[in-house]
Amino acid sequence: MTEKTVEIKISGKTIQAKAGETIVHALWAADMAESVKTGCAGGVCGACTVTLRYSDGRTGGTELACMKPVEAGMEIFPCPVAEDAPVLPVPNPELSTLQSAFPTLNRCTKCDSCTTACPMSIPVMDSVLRMQKGEFSAVAEDFTTCIHCGLCRFVCEDKVKPHNMGLWVRRSLGMSRDFPIVKTTAEQEAEQEWQYLLVEDREVRLQRARQFRSSGRIEP
């Protein structure tokens, strides 16, 4: 039986996709993997956020391209969130530490656009206000379900960077916990695999990713 194909558009370019596959898989098959950023390919990291429009003109809001199945006539617009240099977490964070790590903290004008944009229904603006008061445990709780799609940063005209700060707070609190981390063999292996795949040289990284995808192993 022949598989049903549908036409979709990515950034204005028409491609064929198999009905039911995800946007990311359709892009991989069309040799356009780099048109949408991809991280985990499992709905966790938020790297692949896109906005959608359907064939009847309806806007589809934001979706994760690695989870969203294609539909006939769907138009896909990659979310242009620029990369941002990471700010290292610090143990036992205080309000003054957050303020010097992110001088953007006090720029918030309480417009609430970030909360409206968040696909995970996180109370982003309220959490920024909690950050300004140093209520870090509550902030860490707020950002538990953050997928780091970057939309709250994208829509913020005042460049406050809410999710970067939320992640910094979570990591900083995590570093402050006083317990030994014992890793299982599976966790150690997973860490080695990440080291293997995340080398700096782009060509080596791509070559290793292909090898890993076909063999499922770290090749010497």
CB 53 within 8 A of CB 74: yes
Choose the stretch contacting ligand FES; rule: CB under 6 A; options: 41-49, 103-111, 150-158, 160-168.
41-49
- Binds 137: which of ligand FES, ligand SF4, none (CB < 5-8 Å by kind): none
Choose the stretch contacting ligand FES; rule: CB under 6 A; options: 25-33, 46-54, 81-89, 177-185.
46-54
Using rule CB under 6 A, residue 89 touches ligand FES? no
DSSP for 82-134, written as a single string: PP-------SS--HHHHHHH-GGGGG-----HHHHH-TT---HHHHHHHHHTT
Applying CB under 6 A, the residues found at the interface with ligand SF4 are 46, 108-114, 117-120, 122, 124-125, 128, 146-152, 155-156, 158, 160, 162-163
Residue 44 or 199 having the CB closest to ligand FES? 44
Tokens 């460049």, located at residue:
159
Using rule CB under 6 A, residue 36 touches ligand FES? no
Binds ligand FES by CB under 6 A, chosen from 29, 30, 32, 41: 41
49 burial class (0-12, 13-18, 19+ CB within 10 angstroms)? Answer: buried
Binds ligand FES by CB under 6 A, chosen from 15, 48, 74, 152: 48
Beta-ladder partners of 7: 16
Q: Which residues bind ligand FES (CB under 6 A)?
A: 38-41, 43-48, 64, 66
